[in-house]
Amino acid sequence: MLLEKEKYDLILLDLMLPGLKGEEIIKKVNNVPIIVLSAKISSDDKVNCLLSGASDYITKPFDSKELLARIEVQLRSNNKNNVLDNLKYKDLELLSDKHTLLVCNNKVSLTKTEYAILKQLLLNKPQVISKNKLLDLISIDTEDCDENSLRVHISNLRRKIKDYTDNEYIESIWGIGFKIKD
């Protein structure tokens, strides 16, 4: 699936298009604003999409100027939350080269999976990420991956971080998932 391999600034999702159900796409996407275009004027549809993760919902027919303005709103707010800023936290800095982490300014090389996990945790910093969500995320790169496997990745990440700092960064929330410690 393209969504999983490429990077996007914004997704315009037409609910009338054939193929995947819109709501499923919305739930799969993370940290990319989605504007839903739809002929459905049902309020329930709107509410569902918005609560599932869509950033905006425009009912057809719409004025093209309005669409452009709403696109600008999304891009504007996305730039404010500069992604790169969010990837710094205390002694950690995740570099965008996809596999390097700085711990107290020491280079630590991460595997693709470790990078993906840590990035997700840092992006959502105070929040808990469920094990299932992390698994979904990892499955983009590698298919078979169960909780056991995830545990090993987390363990490896912790060890790599611990080599350079005494602070604990990855906290387990029993029965739920993981989060970055405050």
Partner DNA sequence: CAAAATCTTAACAATTTCTTAACCATTTTC
Partner DNA sequence: GAAAATGGTTAAGAAATTGTTAAGATTTTG
* Burial of 67 from C-beta contacts in 10 A (0-12 / 13-18 / 19+): middle
* Burial of 11 from C-beta contacts in 10 A (0-12 / 13-18 / 19+): middle
Give the residue from 81, 87, 85, 82 showing the smallest Cα distance to 100: 87
Q: Which residue in this structure is represented by tokens 């569902």?
A: 48
- Residue 131 interacts with a second copy (CB under 8 A): yes or no: no
- Residue 10 interacts with a second copy (CB under 8 A): yes or no: no
- Residue 152 interacts with DNA (CB under 7 A): yes or no: yes
Among 11, 102, 128, 170, binds a second copy (CB under 8 A): 128
Q: Which stretch in 12-20, 95-103, 144-152, 162-170 sits in contact with a second copy by CB under 8 A? A: 95-103
- Quick one: 29 or 118, whose CB is closer to DNA? 118
Where along the sequence are the contacts to DNA (CB under 7 A)? Answer: 99, 109, 111-114, 131, 138, 141-149, 151-156, 158-159, 172-177
